[in-house]
Amino acid sequence: MFEEHRDSLFRFLYRLTRNAPDAEDLLQETFLAVWRKRDRFEGRGSAGAYLRRTAYRLFLNARERTNRRAALAPTTVGTEACDVPGDGGDEHERREVIGFLAGRIREALDGLPDAAREAFVMFRYEGLTCAQIAAVTGAPVKTVETRVGRATALLAARLRPLQHHMSHL
């Protein structure tokens, strides 16, 4: 089971956590939890779906711990200037524009409310259906559909100012 599902489960967790070390830790925790509770898997549904549900629950628990720690830690707010690269025709500038846009997309995605971001990531990046996402998260299908729609609308609004740069690629 590990060999068959490791890579896809890692990608799933990486997209949720946004970093490889946390995704790797959660991946190991997921397989350990499934191994410890192997007698609870009744064979209904796929092993991949069972692993995703377990991984998602562990992700939520880890996020909650992180949020609690962050609430207790002192915060500093920094602002960084952001230069928009030129939209000229040479390959170097093209790569700069793509890098700039990828960063803005990542920031816009990271700025979404957690539930909407997670549903969007599972839907757009993982290719899960709304029904599959509902099974993973325990939310009703209509709620998942609303979250994906909300995330799409928020991203579109946040990325609209970048249309000029995208049209020059």
CATH 1.10.10.10 maps onto the chain at 91-167
Residue range(s) in the chain whose domain bears CATH number 1.10.1740: 2-72
pTM greater than 0.75 (yes/no): no
Min mean pLDDT across 82-91, 102-111, 136-145 is at: 82-91
pLDDT of residue 116: 94
Q: What is the DSSP letter of 168?
A: T
For the domain covering 91-167, report its CATH number: 1.10.10.10
Reported as a single tens digit per residue, the pLDDT across 119-139 is 999 999 888 999 999 999 999
How far is Cα 98 from Cα 100, in angstroms, rounded to an integer?
A: 5
Half-sphere exposure of 95 (CA within 13 A, CB side): 3
Q: State which fold the 2-72 domain adopts.
A: Rna Polymerase Sigma Factor; Chain: A (1.10.1740)
Mean pLDDT over 6-24 rounds to 92
Q: How far, in Å, CA of 79 to CA of 123, rounded?
A: 32
For residues 128 and 133, give the distance between their C-alpha atoms in angstroms, rounded to a whole number: 6
Residue 118's SS3 state is: helix
The CA distances from residue 42 to 28, 45, 47, 51, in Å, are: 22, 9, 10, 13
Q: Mind listing the pLDDT tens digit for each residue in 36-92?
A: 887 777 667 788 888 999 999 999 888 888 777 777 766 544 434 444 454 445 777
In angstroms, the CA 6 to CA 68 distance is: 29
Task: Evaluate whether 159 touches 110 at the Cβ level (below 8 Å).
Answer: no
Structure confidence at residue 164 as a pLDDT band (50, 70, 90):
low
